Each structure stands twice: as C-alpha cells, then as structure tokens.
Chains A and B, each alone.
Chain A
Amino acid sequence: MSADSGKELRIVGFLCNWCSYGGADTAGVGRFQQPTDLRIIRVPCSGRVDPLFVLKSLVNGADGVLVSGCHPRDCHYSEGNYYARRRLEVLKRFLPVLGIDTRRFEYTWVSASEGQKWKTVVEKFTEGIHELGPAPVIDATMIAKAQILAATAL
C-alpha cells in the first residue's frame, strides 16, 4: 500500500461496523469532499480494537492511526466502547515513553448519522498528521544514528 509519494501520508482508521463505518458511508453518500490519506479497516466494535493494532501500525510505518466507534451509551453490544475507552486512553498516555508523538493517535466517537461530523474528524486528523509530517522510519540508517546518539548520551 504505497502512498502517493510527496502528497499523501499513510493513516490507518479502525472503524466500528455499527456507527463510525456507517457514518463514513453517510459522508460518502452525501458526497462530502474528504482527504484521501485514510485507509479504513472495519471492525465489529471499537471494543475489538486491541491497543496492539495501533502500536503495530505505528511501529511499522503508519503516520497516524484513528479509532472511531459508537458514542458511549450507544454501543451495539452495550458496553464494548466503554472497555475501548479505557484501553485507548491508557494507550494514548503510554505513547510518549516510546518516543511516539501522541498526536499520531486519536480516538473518537461518530454515529452512523453524523456524516458531516465524520468529514470534520477526517479533515482535522489528516491536517494534524500533515503538520507532523511522515513518521520516522526505523531502518538501518536510523538504527545506526540511534546507536551513536545513545553512545554519546552516556
């Protein structure tokens, strides 16, 4: 999945089937213009989103990750998003220690009727990621640099 180099960044979106995916669909049916950096992965519920999905994406080259589910009290499975909220908040607060910018990860709630809101979320998040630029790539050069940096820091 190579991004259109120069212009586009790689953003992964995990959307719950019942609300946010429907919301994104509503935005599409309403023919709203949206940035095209986001690649959507549909999951049954935001409670399905293991924080490791997000971490694995970020470590392996995603520039941003967006998770979206039903509003609290609106979960199709009653309580999936409550668990998701706790996990994702913990994850968001955990990122700084890894040296990953917390702004590269965001979670939010969008319902199936909120096409306009979905457009706003995508625009704002994509804009934020473009301000940050591409994520650092962990390759041989980066590792060598890091080792030199660590050696001089001691």
Chain B
Amino acid sequence: MQYLNELKEKIKENLPELDMVVGWEQGFDSLRASPLFMRTEDDVDKMIWGPLCVHNLATYLPSLKGKKVGVVVKGCDSRSVIQLLQEKLIKRDDIMVFGLPCTGVVSLRKIQDNLGSLDYIESTEVDGDSLNITVDGTNHAFKLEDVAANKCSRCQYHNALLSDVFIGDPITEEAEDEYTDVDEFEDMSLEDRMAFWVSNMSRCVSCYACRNACPMCVCRDHCVAQSRDPHWITQEDTVQNKWFFQMIHSMHLAGRCTECGECERACPVGLPLLLLKRKMNKEIKELFAYKAGTLIDAKTPLLSFKVEEDNINERGW
C-alpha cells in the first residue's frame, strides 16, 4: 500500500482532464477487491492498492473508447494496454496510464484451497510479505509468495511497461519464464492429456466469464460462440462444444495473449485455461521470436509473413 497516497494525489491532479479513472476499491468483504470507476475526488479516496488488486483493468478500455479514461495498471496489465494500442482498439491520446511496480497479487483460489471457504472473511491485513486473514474468529497467516497467483512467480514485467505517470521505485529483479509448466504437462501421455481436458471441460458451465474477463476479447456481442452465422458452436450441451470454445479462444488469441491470467481467474469452476494460451505463446515465441504486449509498433505475427520463414520447415513429401 506504500504508494497509495502518492497515487491518489496524482489521480486527483489529473482527474479534471479525464472523464474517469479506473482503479480498485474494497469489494463486499476485506479480501475481495472490486474495480472502481472514479469520477470525483471523493471516489478517489475509496481507492486501494496492494496484492489484493487482482483485476486487469485494461479489460474495460475498449468499451470506454471515445472517453478520456485514466487507468491504473500493474506490470502485467500494462502489456494488455500496449497490445490494445498496437491493434488500434484504443487511442493513445484518449488514455492516461498510471503505472505501478507490482510485487505480485494473490490468488483467491489458492487461499480458498487453504481455508476451505471464503464466505466468512472478517478481516484481511497485508503486512509486508505476509497476509493475515481472520475467518470465523480464527486468524490465518499466509506468506504472500505461497498464495500469489502463478503468473507472479514467473513475472518478467513487474513495472508497468507503458505509463504516463509512474509511481514508486521500479523493481529491477525479474524471473525467467521457460514455460516449464507447459513442458511438464506435455510429458504426460497423449491419452492422459486428452482425458485431462475432457474431464475438465465436462465441468465447464459455458458462462463465458473467461471471454468476458479477457482484455483481448473485444468482439463482445459479435463473438462467434453465440453467432448463428457462422455457427461454430451449437446449442447442445456437449464437452466437444465447450472444449472447442476454448480452442477458439486460444486461436483467436494466438500472438495477442498477454498472459494476464484473467480467463483462469474469472472461471467459476477453476479450469486451467491459461495453460492453453501459454502453450500458444510458447510456440509463437519459438517460431517468430515475438511476445505480445511488449511493443506498440510491432506487428502481430499471424497478420504478417516472410516469404522465406526462419523457423518453419517446409514439409517435403
């Protein structure tokens, strides 16, 4: 919470020129944060900042197009902003980015796995790198790194990559990301992998929260999952349909996904959806040496080509 006061000051300073600033406030209990749309100075005072601010607020930007919007971003969120700018889905002049250095956010699912239920949270305190949660009269202490989201342990972009106002001291250390989780998964046999997805997708409730939370899913009402023409997905409640939707999501995010993990976080039944996108990104990185959301001027690899590809081996028959 160390930079909160400075952040509030900066937002108040810039608020008159902006229609709104998007940040976080406390949600319905002390553990849950909720997105906050600040229009007045009183709103700004409600803002919070810390490891509980899990949401990627860049998700709101395309729907607020045309308005002057400020947005508070962590390192990973800033990649989504960059990717949206690269695809010209938002205008640089219309947005003001308040960047922060982030040491990691919590995974509510991990906390829930430890506590059993998150229904009776009485108080939550973040103190340095520890998290104290009081549930039903008993205190539970966690180390932040133990309950941090998986993306945080391999974070390479702690600081916002793009910002108009940067608050705090940049974090210099960064982790390596060798996609070991993808490799480990692929060490399983082919049958096990398919069984893994089939059993997981049979739990899917087709709520499309993964799509709605995704900052790069900008089609909204025109999503192919619900269109009749083309009719990719039938109205039948089958595993094939649900699984195929995840394939659509992955293919449509090929070379665009910034791995913010919102799909997985938003999933009410806890499906490991980010794994598919990370696999896609791993291959994109190997083939085209490209990482989405790092450069505004770059071109998405699947929308460009080289006559002689460097890493694609033409198949001879």
Contact = CB atoms under 8 A, between A and B. Distances in A.
Interface in B296-313: 301-303, 305-307, 309, 312
Given A55-B247, A72-B307, A86-B302, A98 B194 contact: yes
Interface string B257-281: 0000000000000000001100110
A77 interface: no
Contacts of A42: none
B315 A108 contact: yes
B263 to A, nearest CB: 15
Interface residues on A, range: 35 or more
B205 interface: no
B229 to A, nearest CB: 15
A121 interface: yes
Contact of A86 (B182, B192, B247, B309): B309
A136 B240 CA distance: 12
Contacts of A97: 182, 185-186, 193, 275-276, 279
Interface residues on B, range: 35 or more
Interface stretch (B126-134, B196-204, B210-218): B196-204
A141 B191 CA distance: 14
A121 B317 contact: yes
A89 B200 contact: no
Contact of A93 (B200, B287, B315): B287
A73 interface: yes
A29 interface: no
A90 B240 contact: no
Contacts of A150: 195-196, 199-200
B165 interface: no
B289 to A, nearest CB: 13
Given A85-B312, A86-B312, A55 B239 contact: no
B306 to A, nearest CB: 8
Contacts of B232: 52, 56
Interface centre among A100, A142, A150 (most CB of B within 10 A): A150
Contacts of A72: 307, 314
B275 A52 contact: no
Interface in B218-235: 232
Contacts of A39: none
A143 B202 contact: yes
Contact of A59 (B247, B280, B303): B247
A100 B189 CA distance: 10
Contacts of A138: 198, 239-240, 243
A59 B244 contact: yes
A120 B279 CA distance: 33
Given A52-B248, A121-B317, A149-B195, A60 B302 contact: no
Given A59-B247, A120-B317, A94 B283 contact: yes
Contacts of A151: 199
Contacts of B1: none
Interface in A96-141: 96-101, 106-109, 117, 120-121, 124, 136, 138
B63 to A, nearest CB: 25
A117 B283 contact: no
B315 A96 contact: no
Contacts of A147: 199, 202
B271 to A, nearest CB: 12
B192 A149 contact: yes
B198 A146 contact: yes
Contact of A60 (B182, B240, B307): B240
B230 to A, nearest CB: 9
Given A85-B309, A147-B199, A108 B193 contact: no
14 contacts: A50-B251, A51-B251, A56-B232, A72-B314, A83-B302, A85-B312, A87-B254, A90-B287, A96-B193, A97-B182, A136-B191, A136-B194, A138-B198, A143-B239
Interface of B: 182, 185-186, 190-200, 202, 232, 239-240, 243-244, 247-248, 250-251, 254-255, 275-276, 279-280, 283-284, 286-288, 301-303, 305-307, 309, 312, 314-315, 317
Interface of A: 50-52, 55-56, 59-60, 72-73, 79, 82-83, 85-87, 89-91, 93-94, 96-101, 106-109, 117, 120-121, 124, 136, 138, 142-143, 145-147, 149-151, 153
